[in-house]
Structure 1
């Protein structure tokens, strides 16, 4: 079964993370599948707005830590290439000339929270938790730091990334991390209604040019920062704290910091 599902209905493209048994963790197949799906939706003239959703209880639990543990034995160059693949996915979604709406039915943590961050709008259920928890396992939330700083500002980004704390949907909405909190039974309907409004009431040309303009405002600085972030990500994987933290997480124990 494919780890990424796609469909198109009434000019709305739907991309679904379909790895529920792993809480939709961002492994290489899922990252590649998402990249291909977003590129295809971007090029498809039938699609005006894109909805990103997930199957299962979690929206996305972040990086596939079992895979990251394997990468710890790889070279720096191999880790940098792997880091850049996630970087390119985030950048693709963030700069896509079509509006992307995240439909968050469960927890969005670490890289999964980053996935929500790079979408243009995000609707989430009250029960969903958000958080950039990398510091709890000796890792560095480097890639998301670039987009998050641009979205909610330096001070709040620092608070979230250094604390590694979970926050509620209500708090995420207050910070501007998500757009709206919606009861689970109305989430899909609310997202569909909002997407349909964009499709029927707004010019595709205008939305595309407006989003492109906004992304071009800090483009050079963002790209430099992303290169630095990818290098930081690759270096962090080889550090002893990262090795200890991931091993502890996978064995369901607490690392001794």
Structure 2
């Protein structure tokens, strides 16, 4: 049914949603955004599903935006770029509002949009070997559509430490930042995720869904106005000279003009 992801549901109703482009380090393509949004809607409507685990196949959790997708966006008109940005925003919001517990299993590196997906999970457990980073500003872009979820997860003060610098950080720092709940040896990752799953199987599913919805009303609001603002901010950056220079330098395998 899906081109870029897989879904497996066990007898308990625990669904594992896997990003399945290992040869591309699970980088997000336009098709993956469509698949993930549809998967979130499908799992949310399935009364037999109690918990969802989000993970990646292969060495990486998610390397951010797919290079081919980025090249296509360079040639797009601003309104079309906006539509592509909205695909990402709608996918993240679909996962964020999933009426089931969403547990992130970060088995490999996560950059850019991958950090965004880790941030929409209710709890995220990572292998202690992973590297993460919000790398957009190296390209002259900004972590816009993922921004509300990243800041909501980390808090503004913690987010400021890594949101603008594109600095890479290890799993232990991701725990300090609040992005990961804990980091464990890779061999212990499944057991740590399972420990998060089991308590939900003893809870009333409807009450869990209602409690999750309530937390969103009590925390930082991520509504249509916020989402529209992030899309506009990203499209504006795409139109600037820095984005043109940064993305050109990336594909030409050279340093951008501002790099030392």
TM-score between the two structures when normalised by the length of structure 2: 0.93
* Alpha-carbon distance change, 149 to 72 in structure 1, aligned in 2, over 3 angstroms: same
Q: Post-superposition shift, 1:138?
A: 0.8
Number of equivalenced pairs: 256
Q: Post-superposition shift, 1:218?
A: 5.2
- Matching residue of 1:45: 47
Q: SS at 1:165's partner residue?
A: coil
Paired with 2:185 and 2:134, the residues of 1 have a C-alpha distance of 23
CA offsets 1:58-110 (integer angstroms, 9 cap, x no match): 10000113312221221111111110110011111111111101111111111
Q: SS at 1:50's partner residue?
A: strand
> What is the 5 A alignment of 1:105-254?
105-199=107-201, 201-217=202-218, 222-254=223-255
CA offsets 1:123-143 (integer angstroms, 9 cap, x no match): 101110111111111111111
Q: Post-superposition shift, 1:193?
A: 3.4
More helix by share: 1
Paired with 2:109 and 2:62, the residues of 1 have a C-alpha distance of 7
The 8 Å contact of residues 65 and 246 in structure 1, kept in 2 or not, is answered as: no
Q: SS at 1:142's partner residue?
A: coil
Indicate which of 16, 20, 24 corresponds to 2:22.
20
Paired with 2:51 and 2:96, the residues of 1 have a C-alpha distance of 14
Cα RMSD after superposing both structures: 1.6
* Alpha-carbon distance change, 114 to 35 in structure 1, aligned in 2, over 3 angstroms: same
Q: Is 1:97 aligned to residue 99 of structure 2?
A: yes
TM-score between the two structures when normalised by the length of structure 1: 0.94
* Alpha-carbon distance change, 185 to 221 in structure 1, aligned in 2, over 3 angstroms: closer
The 8 Å contact of residues 146 and 222 in structure 1, kept in 2 or not, is answered as: no
Q: Post-superposition shift, 1:237?
A: 1.8
Unaligned runs of 5+ in 1: none
Q: SS at 2:16's partner residue?
A: strand
Q: Post-superposition shift, 1:220?
A: 5.5
Paired with 1:219 and 1:167, the residues of 2 have a C-alpha distance of 25
CA offsets 1:152-186 (integer angstroms, 9 cap, x no match): 22122222111111111111111211111111112
Paired with 2:188 and 2:118, the residues of 1 have a C-alpha distance of 19
Q: Post-superposition shift, 1:216?
A: 2.3
CA offsets 1:180-211 (integer angstroms, 9 cap, x no match): 11111121232123213322x22212211111
CA offsets 1:2-22 (integer angstroms, 9 cap, x no match): 311011112101111000111
CA offsets 1:10-38 (integer angstroms, 9 cap, x no match): 21011110001111111111111111111
Q: Post-superposition shift, 1:229?
A: 0.3
Q: Post-superposition shift, 1:253?
A: 2.3
